[in-house]
């Protein structure tokens, strides 16, 4: 192995590079082979994941439900309607509809690969997936926890999906433990992608890839806000801590247009363990109350009238549910309780003893499947859910595009759904072809750069199954792109030496200055990645509507945040890496900073509070349908190192009037 600070450099050329190993990447890996074959073969593909695919991505720990399954009785248009409503009216119906018509096929594949899915028998009695029963594909009836959600025994969900992906693509074409730091544009076309550069987190090797097309699916962004967890618990978060904003930052730096980066998700979770609430609210029909046993959704229901028409929806948006809960907390009627005791008692009245036993086991299995830490809390605090209620808490904000959030990258939609004209608003530059389709589903505004799942903005509620389906769609469109660009020779616009110089800066910072002080972590010449992360989290928390201010901010606070972020970005060049692990942390933090900056700039630009309960601009504390029912998009300028935000027109392709009372 080369001496630290002087890595071996490995250069490779493939047609398609997949960056990431989560649900979307697995979907692409599974799907791409047959499309390559149909195209006559000869297209090379490589997948790189910074971790190990069996347990990487948001589904790593498992899940107890698949939250997007349309089934034969619902229409993808209903799904697009629900997605729009939960995200306060501003989503891309073309993307949601397209997902809705493909997602079930992914679920059927999961079942075929061995994922146990709960079923009901002809009498409507429920059984868990170990019972087998008719498959969904052959007309088996899933146990629906909600209108869109179905129950599974999913501790090994990701293993199962990864196994199929690995088998399809072949381990020769998969490289684990490679962290990609940045994308490289094409020397002959700045709006085209030509390569990516990263390093092994196990060996002292740097990798430079050249390609015609690339799928960037490295998840959403966690840990830009100070988390509620402290000390040893800090590794615990709701979404995976390894989601470091790499998708958004690398795409932005390559010139891709971002959308709705002001959007965030603040999930209400079981306190301290971040245990999921979906099964409790939907399957167990549990209610959440204030300290005095009052259901805040009833007590504060008139607050929904402040947000027409969204407040009138049959199921109020996730942010509005938070909005009603926060009133109780702010006015001193906390803690908030999940009334598990009443919910389980009620179920005992209607279900058979066998089903009750099954559901009581599920109360634990729900957490064991996907959030084992919450079981630790129940055990540690002597909580038996049938006897003692559990506290709920809104978490720190998360940025993502696959769960109940919709920030991300602006991508080309399907060519057969709507595709309205995208009229310029307020003198916005028209740098794209008209409409929401520019040839290749899932391609960003940069030629050859594709994304899916958390990467795709303006279409939330894809969850695990939808992320996989979106990855599969990209397999097809990337093959098409490569076929259409057969003769293109990618050339990097930056030399390999310059790339090494940049990537290894944190290592050099360390080697050059380590002997200046006797304590390795205390040194005026560098900052540890951990300390830098604390700085980022503190400023985002205090100025950009974190938990410290009950999710409130205003233009003045954002201005302060802007200065502090600019200084932090400057100081990020001083991060040190004493080993490969810290080099990973240093670059993850850099990705976090740029994502945080995009979030802040978008909140600053959108002069309203579109997502009450997720964040409030107190100086513009209203939803302004007339001026702001539009997308806020942005482009990052690498030269000036700034984001420029602008409006893009929103169009409803699906009639939304059905949603409202
Ligand atoms: P979660 O367990 O919170 O990740 O949510 C799982 C699913 O349940 C998602 O589809 C959520 O949108 C949905 N969900 C969670 N809580 C509620 C609620 N109170 N009302 C309606 N849907 C919910």
**Mean pLDDT across the chain:** 94
Instruction: List Cα–Cα distances, 357 to 127, 165, 250, 287, 360, in angstroms.
Output: 11, 36, 49, 21, 5
Given this model, what pLDDT does residue 355 score? 85
462/497 Cα distance (integer angstroms): 40
Q: What count of Cα atoms within 13 Å lies in the side-chain half-sphere of residue 471?
A: 33
Regarding predicted confidence, which is higher, 481 or 360? 481
pLDDT, tens only, 490-499: 999 999 999 9
Largest CA distance in the chain: 75
For 231, the token pair is 């000390």
Residue having the nearest C-alpha atom to atom 2 of ligand 1: 278
pLDDT, tens only, 229-287: 988 788 889 999 999 999 999 999 999 999 999 999 999 999 999 999 999 999 899 99
226/390 Cα distance (integer angstroms): 23
Say which residue the tokens 């595009």 belong to.
Answer: 401
Q: Quote the percentage of the chain above a pLDDT of 70.
A: 97
Instruction: List Cα–Cα distances, 162 to 2, 371, 456, 478, 618, in angstroms.
Output: 32, 20, 21, 20, 45
Q: 603 CA to middle of ligand 1, Å? A: 25
Residue 193's beta-bridge partner residues?
185
- In this prediction, residue 5 has a pLDDT band, given cuts at 50, 70 and 90, of low
Residue having the nearest C-alpha atom to atom 11 of ligand 1: 278
Instruction: List Cα–Cα distances, 612 to 88, 130, 600, in angstroms.
Output: 10, 41, 16
Q: 297 CA to middle of ligand 1, Å? A: 15
Q: Helix, strand, or coil here: 269?
A: strand
For 533, the token pair is 């992360």
Atom of ligand 1 nearest to the CA of 148: 10
Residue 647's beta-bridge partner residues?
632
In this structure, the chain runs to a length of: 661
The least confident of 40-49, 139-148, 423-432 is: 423-432
For 113, the token pair is 């690969």
Give mean pLDDT, residues 621-638. Answer: 97
* pTM of the model as a whole: 0.96
- Torsional class of 177: left (φ above 0), alpha (ψ -120 to 50), beta (otherwise): left
301/299 Cα distance (integer angstroms): 6
Question: Best mutation site among 100, 146, 393 for ligand 1, i.e. most ligand atoms within 8 A of its Cβ?
Answer: 146
User: CA angle, corner 464, sides to 459 and 466, nearest 5?
Assistant: 45
Residue having the nearest C-alpha atom to atom 23 of ligand 1: 278
Given this model, what pLDDT does residue 106 score? 98
pLDDT at 218 over 80: yes
pLDDT at 632 over 90: yes
pLDDT at 429 over 50: no
Q: 205 CA to middle of ligand 1, Å? A: 43
609 CB-near residues (< 8 Å, 6+ apart): 615, 616, 617, 620, 621, 622, 623
Residue having the nearest C-alpha atom to atom 1 of ligand 1: 278
Q: 294 CA to middle of ligand 1, Å? A: 20
Question: Best mutation site among 65, 148, 281 for ligand 1, i.e. most ligand atoms within 8 A of its Cβ?
Answer: 281
Secondary structure element (H or E) that encloses residue 451, with its range: strand 449-451
Residue having the nearest C-alpha atom to atom 12 of ligand 1: 404
Q: 441 CA to middle of ligand 1, Å? A: 28
Given this model, what pLDDT does residue 439 score? 87
Given this model, what pLDDT does residue 613 score? 98
Instruction: List Cα–Cα distances, 6 to 115, 504, 508, 594, in angstroms.
Output: 45, 9, 10, 27
pLDDT at 381 over 60: yes
Ranges assigned E (strand) in 117-237 = 119-120, 126-127, 141-142, 150-154, 174-176, 178-186, 189-200, 205-210, 213-216
Question: Best mutation site among 277, 285, 390, 613 for ligand 1, i.e. most ligand atoms within 8 A of its Cβ?
Answer: 277
pLDDT at 433 over 60: no
Residue having the nearest C-alpha atom to atom 5 of ligand 1: 278
The H-assigned helical ranges of 148-263 are 157-169, 246-253
Q: 480 CA to middle of ligand 1, Å? A: 37
For 406, the token pair is 């919709």
No. of helices (H) and no. of strands (E), the chain: 18, 24
For 97, the token pair is 């509809």
Domains of the chain in sequence order: 10-112+147-262+404-484 (3.50.50.60), 268-394 (3.90.700.10), 504-628 (1.20.58.100)
Contact present, 135 and 111 (Cβ < 8 Å) = yes
pLDDT, tens only, 225-242: 999 998 878 888 999 999
Atom of ligand 1 nearest to the CA of 278: 2
Over its C-alpha atoms, the chain yields an Rg (Å, rounded) of 24
pLDDT at 293 over 60: yes
pLDDT at 50 over 90: yes
pLDDT, tens only, 189-206: 999 999 999 999 999 999
Atom of ligand 1 nearest to the CA of 149: 10
pLDDT at 6 over 80: no
Given this model, what pLDDT does residue 292 score? 98
pLDDT, tens only, 118-136: 999 999 889 999 888 999 9
Kindly state the DSSP code that residue 502 receives in the 8-state scheme.
Answer: H
pLDDT at 428 over 60: no
Backbone angles phi and psi of 193, in degrees to 5: -100, 140
Say which residue the tokens 């469109």 belong to.
Answer: 477
**Residues framing ligand 1 (Cβ under 6 A):** 67, 146, 149, 267, 276-278, 281-282, 315, 321, 404
pLDDT, tens only, 94-114: 999 999 999 999 999 999 999
Given this model, what pLDDT does residue 359 score? 85
232 CB-near residues (< 8 Å, 6+ apart): none
Q: 279 CA to middle of ligand 1, Å? A: 7
Given this model, what pLDDT does residue 418 score? 62
- In this prediction, residue 426 has a pLDDT band, given cuts at 50, 70 and 90, of very low
Residue 492's beta-bridge partner residues?
186
Atom of ligand 1 nearest to the CA of 463: 10
Buried b (16+ CB within 10 A) or exposed e, 254-275: bbbbbbbbbbbbbbbbbbbbbb
Q: 410 CA to middle of ligand 1, Å? A: 26
pLDDT at 438 over 50: yes
pLDDT, tens only, 551-583: 999 999 999 999 999 999 999 999 999 999 999
pLDDT at 427 over 50: no
- In this prediction, residue 475 has a pLDDT band, given cuts at 50, 70 and 90, of very high
Nearest residue to 545 (alpha-carbon basis) of 558, 532, 536:
558
């Amino acid at each position: 192995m080369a001496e630290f600070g002087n890595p071996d450099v490995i250069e490779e050329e493939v047609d398609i590079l997949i960056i990431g190993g989560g649900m979307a990447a697995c979907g692409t890996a599974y799907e791409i082979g047959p499309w390559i074959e149909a195209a006559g073969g000869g297209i090379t593909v490589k997948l790189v994941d910074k971790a190990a695919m069996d347990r990487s991505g948001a589904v790593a720990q498992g899940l107890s439900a698949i939250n997007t399954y349309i089934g034969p009785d619902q229409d993808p248009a209903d799904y697009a309607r629900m997605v729009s409503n939960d995200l306060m009216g501003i989503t891309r119906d073309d993307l949601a509809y397209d997902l809705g018509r493909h997602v079930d096929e992914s679920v059927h594949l999961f079942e075929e690969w061995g994922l146990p899915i709960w079923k009901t028998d002809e009498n409507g009695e429920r059984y868990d997936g170990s019972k087998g029963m008719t498959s969904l594909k052959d007309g088996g009836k899933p146990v629906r926890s909600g209108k869109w959600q179905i129950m599974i025994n999913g501790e090994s969900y990701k293993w199962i999906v990864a196994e199929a992906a690995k088998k399809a693509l072949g381990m020769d074409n998969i490289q684990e433990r490679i962290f990609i730091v940045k994308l490289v544009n094409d020397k002959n076309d700045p709006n085209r992608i030509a390569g990516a550069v990263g390093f092994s987190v196990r060996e002292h090797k740097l990798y430079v890839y050249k390609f015609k097309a690339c799928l960037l699916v490295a998840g959403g962004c966690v840990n830009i806000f100070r988390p509620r967890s402290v000390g040893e618990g800090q590794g615990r978060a709701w979404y995976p801590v390894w989601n470091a904003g790499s998708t958004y930052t690398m795409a932005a730096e390559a010139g891709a247009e971002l959308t709705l980066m002001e959007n965030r998700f603040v999930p209400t979770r079981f306190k301290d363990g971040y245990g999921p609430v979906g099964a409790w609210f939907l399957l167990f029909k549990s209610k959440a109350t204030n300290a005095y046993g009052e259901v805040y959704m009833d007590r504060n229901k008139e607050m929904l009238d402040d947000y027409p028409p969204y407040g009138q929806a049959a199921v109020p948006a996730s942010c509005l549910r938070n909005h009603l809960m926060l009133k109780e907390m702010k006015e001193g009627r906390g803690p908030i309780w999940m009334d598990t005791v009443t919910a389980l008692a009620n179920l005992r009245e209607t279900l058979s003893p066998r089903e009750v036993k099954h559901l009581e086991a599920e109360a634990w299995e729900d957490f064991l499947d996907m959030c084992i830490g919450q079981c630790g809390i129940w055990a540690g605090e002597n909580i038996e859910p049938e006897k003692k209620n559990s506290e709920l808490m809104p978490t720190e904000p998360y940025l993502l595009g696959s769960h109940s959030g919709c920030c991300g990258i602006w991508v080309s939609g399907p060519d057969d759904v709507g595709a309205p004209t995208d009229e310029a608003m307020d003198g916005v530059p028209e740098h794209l072809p008209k409409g929401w389709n520019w040839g290749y589903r899932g391609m960003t505004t940069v030629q050859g750069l594709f994304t899916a799942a958390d990467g795709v903005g303006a279409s939330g509620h894809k969850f695990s199954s939808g992320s996989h389906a979106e990855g599969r769609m990209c397999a097809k469109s990337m093959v098409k792109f490569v076929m259409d660009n057969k003769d293109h020779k990618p050339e990097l616009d930056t030399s390999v030496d310059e790339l090494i110089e940049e990537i290894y800066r944190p290592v050099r910072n360390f080697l050059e200055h380590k002997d200046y002080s006797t304590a390795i972590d205390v040194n005026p010449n560098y900052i540890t990645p951990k300390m830098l992360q604390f700085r980022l989290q503190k400023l985002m928390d205090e100025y950009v509507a974190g938990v410290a201010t009950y999710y409130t901010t205003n233009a003045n606070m954002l201005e302060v945040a802007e200065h502090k972020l600019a200084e932090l970005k400057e100081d990020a060049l001083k991060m040190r890496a004493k080993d490969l692990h810290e080099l990973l942390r240093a670059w993850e933090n850099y990705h976090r900073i740029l994502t945080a900056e995009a979030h802040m700039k978008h909140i600053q630009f959108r002069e309203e509070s579109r997502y009450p309960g997720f964040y409030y601009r107190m100086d513009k504390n209203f939803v302004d349908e007339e001026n702001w029912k539009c997308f806020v998009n942005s482009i990052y300028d690498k030269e000036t190192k700034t984001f420029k935000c602008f409006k893009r027109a929103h169009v409803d392709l699906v009639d939304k009037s059905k949603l409202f009372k």
